[in-house]
Each structure stands twice: as structure tokens, then as C-alpha cells.
Amino acid sequence: MNKNVFDISEDTVVVTSTYIVKEKMPILYVMHEFDEVEGVIWQFHSGNNDYETDKILLVSLKNILNIDTTISDVSNLPVGFIARRKFIGDEWVFCQE
């Protein structure tokens, strides 16, 4: 079982894609943003820049943590920042959007 170090519940809905959930691509790009309607949003993507609506999925944070335990490394990503890496196990690089 993975320990949740995020400041949100494991049951919180986050954004990802079919590339992560169905095609098992690695999570290489994370966004932590604020939307005036939805509030704070976490997104977990493969970094392939395909954000077509038919590829987007809503899942729980718990699902993401079960897919990749190293995602806990970005739990301190500030709102308005993105994190990128080249492969699982690589260091995350944070930068402001």
C-alpha cells in the first residue's frame, strides 16, 4: 500500500489520460493548477502533448499512486507549476507555468 503524502484525499478526482491508464505509458508530466470553477486540479500525463477530450480520464489519486509509486515525489509541487522528467526514476524538474 502506498502512503499518500499529497495534501488531498486519495479519493480526490484527478485528471489523466488513456495513455496512462489503458496503454500503461509512464507519467512524465504533472500539472498542479488552479481553475476558477473547479478549484485546485492535479493532472498526470505521459508528456506526449495529446490532450484530446476522448483521451482524458478522471480517476482517483489512489489510482495514480497505484500506477506509479514515485508520483509521491511531486506531492510538494506548488499550484501554478508543472513537473517533468524523462523516465520513471529520473529527477523531477519543477517550473512555473
Query: Edge-to-edge, what's the strand order for the sheet holding 81-84?
Result: 56-60, 13-17, 39-45, 29-35, 81-84, 93-96
Structure-block grid coordinates of residue 87: 523516465
Give the per-residue pLDDT at 92. Answer: 97
Q: Which residues neighbour 33 within 8 Å (Cβ) at sequence distance 6 or greater?
A: 40, 41, 43, 79, 80, 97
Q: What is the pLDDT of residues 45-91, one digit of tens each?
A: 999 988 899 999 999 999 999 999 999 999 999 999 999 999 999 99
Instruction: Tell me the three-class secondary structure of the chain, residue by residue.
Output: CCCCCCCCCCCCEEEEEHHHHCCCCCCCEEEEEEECCCEEEEEEECCCCCCCCCCEEEEEHHHHHHHCHHHHHHCCCCCCEEEECCCCCCCCEEEEC
Give the per-residue pLDDT at 4. Answer: 76
pLDDT greater than 60 at residue 11: yes
Give the per-residue pLDDT at 50. Answer: 87
Give the per-residue pLDDT at 3. Answer: 67
